[in-house]
Amino acid sequence: MKTLSRRVATKTAGVFYKDIVSHTNSVVDKVFIIRYKDINGRDKLTTIGKFSDGIREAYCKAKLNEIKHKIIHGEELPRIARKKSNITFDELAEFYFELKEKGTHKDPKKEKARYTNHIKNLIENYLPENITKELLLDLQNNFKKKLAPRTTNHLLFLITSILKNGIETKKYTGLVPTIKGLTLDNARERYLELEEINSLLQESKKEFCNDIGSVINSVSTPNFS
């Protein structure tokens, strides 16, 4: 893979990205860059990170504003290029569930199933420091379209619990973003939870029927002629 030299402007002034292409010249990723003027008025370019690592335009905008604020007020600039985590969020999650299974947690298997079914494929390859408030808000909006508010809140709480556990066990050093949970409507909540249960039952029935069909098809029909 190689990074193309052309900088592409985003909707945010001062935030750009460069495409990363494969050996067949297909775009497979992109890396974000910010541009600002230092205390002497000279243009500076700083690489923030890759899209595949969870970096988004909103995160770059926040970093750019932080740098500008510190330049204006004469504060020390942050080290954008500080050492990144050498562990993914999914690895933090696996370690979290291992500890829960060894401890006295009520139902670690149920909690792990929720992670696997709803969270894992969305952020498993993210670096922990790239789990931002903006990302949690995006996940919240995504979850609430198909899940009950209580379930949505539980999933977001699980994400932050995994990050907190990573800090407590010194697997990760950083911040844990927080957002406001959804307001619960008990009547609607009960209805949505029933909907989720029915949906799970339907999926289970489909899988059962498919399994039975496979077994039947695998058995040869006797020839009585």
pTM value is 0.53
Angle at alpha carbon of residue 34, lines to 7 and 67, rounded to 5°: 170
Residue 216 has pLDDT above 70, yes or no: no
Write out the DSSP string of 123-168. Answer: HTTS-GGG--HHHHHHHHHHHHTTS-HHHHHHHHHHHHHHHHHHHH
pLDDT tens-digit profile of 90-139? 999 999 999 888 876 566 788 899 999 999 988 888 888 888 888 899 89
For the stretch 156-197, pLDDT in tens is 999 999 999 999 998 988 888 888 888 876 655 455 555 555
Domains and CATH numbers, the chain: 2-73 (3.30.160), 89-169 (1.10.150)
